[in-house]
Structure 1
Amino acid sequence: MSVNNIQVELMKLPGNEDIRLPEKMSEAASGFDLHAAVSEPVTLQPGERQLIPAGFALSMPDGLEAQIRPRSGLAYKHGITTLNSPGTIDADYRGEIKVLLINHGQQPFTIERNERIAQMVFQLVPAVTLEVVNELTETKRGVGGFGHTGV
């Protein structure tokens, strides 16, 4: 697997032939926009969450993950974001890609078929081995956690 050209296989699922493929909206974009594969419009009321299908499945090589992230425009303009952000798609998952959206806005928001709803960013996942030890190395920060450096 070359870091400069990693092949990910994508399969459109039946009934979604009209759904646009994930696409980068600019040449230097890191994310591929995902489109709603809803069979009819879905309205999210303020505070409501729904799992929205994207109409495709992936096959990624080991050592790669896909992260589902919000679209900044939807978040800013309407308060629509992904609830588990980023959502992780593991290399061995072969089911339909779905996006868990929530409406944090003040108004109902309707999702139409083929509307851009989220973005998918691919990340390399290092092979990590966990080792149990009796002591950890010391650092200047130490155990300082939430808010310990101020606001």
Structure 2
Amino acid sequence: MYEASVKITILPGNEDIGIPQKMTDLASGFDLRAAVTERVTLQPGERVLVPTGFAMAMPDNLEAQVRPRSGLAYKKGITTLNAPGTIDADYRGEVGVILINHGTEPFIVERGDRIAQLVFQWVPRVQFVQVESLDDTERGSGGFGHTGV
């Protein structure tokens, strides 16, 4: 099993929000809560940056991905832009979530609402090697939709 220690600090005034939590033992993502100071109404087609009330420091071999919550996406049309949003290991500011309302009704974000999830991924060290040509494959340069819809 892979383990990593991630340092987290609750920003002043957000002690009631707490740290991200998994809702089940085998969940991949940690739920992120809205640290808004007042109710936010997100109209259809509108987007907003929602604070989470914490900052963190990860080892340099990790990244954190901000992803939508499936229930909000399915039931309300609420998702995250720039999904997954990447938080790099050297970022030390407050974690924010860009929400967009793809639904047909206004959506209200209240303090403490679960709005997204945070999933951690290992990041390999990659070095590019420039070559004159690439090996051939069956797929070749076939791109979007090349095998059918």
TM bin (shorter chain): over 0.9
Residue segments in structure 2 that go unaligned for 5+ positions in a row = none
**What's the CA shift for 1:143?**
0.4
Question: How many residues end up aligned between the 2 structures?
Answer: 149
Output the CA distance in 2 between the equivalents of 1:4 and 1:125: 13
Task: Supply the AA of the counterpart residue of 1:46.
Answer: P
Q: TM-score, normalised by structure 1?
A: 0.97
Match of 1:103 among 84, 101, 106: 101
What RMSD in Å do the two structures reach over aligned CA positions? 0.7
Residue segments in structure 1 that go unaligned for 5+ positions in a row = none
- CA contact 1:20–1:114 (8 Å) conserved in 2: no
Q: 1:100-151, CA deviations, whole angstroms, 9 ceiling, x for partnerless residues?
A: 0000000000000000000000000000001111101110000000000001
Partner of 2:73: 75
Q: 1:4-40, CA deviations, whole angstroms, 9 ceiling, x for partnerless residues?
A: 2210000000111111320000010000000000000
- List structure 1 runs of 4+ shifted beyond 4 angstroms: none
Q: TM-score, normalised by structure 2?
A: 0.98
Q: 1:35-56, CA deviations, whole angstroms, 9 ceiling, x for partnerless residues?
A: 0000001000000000000000
Partner of 1:7: 5
Output the CA distance in 1 between the equivalents of 2:74 and 2:123: 30
- CA contact 2:21–2:31 (8 Å) conserved in 1: yes
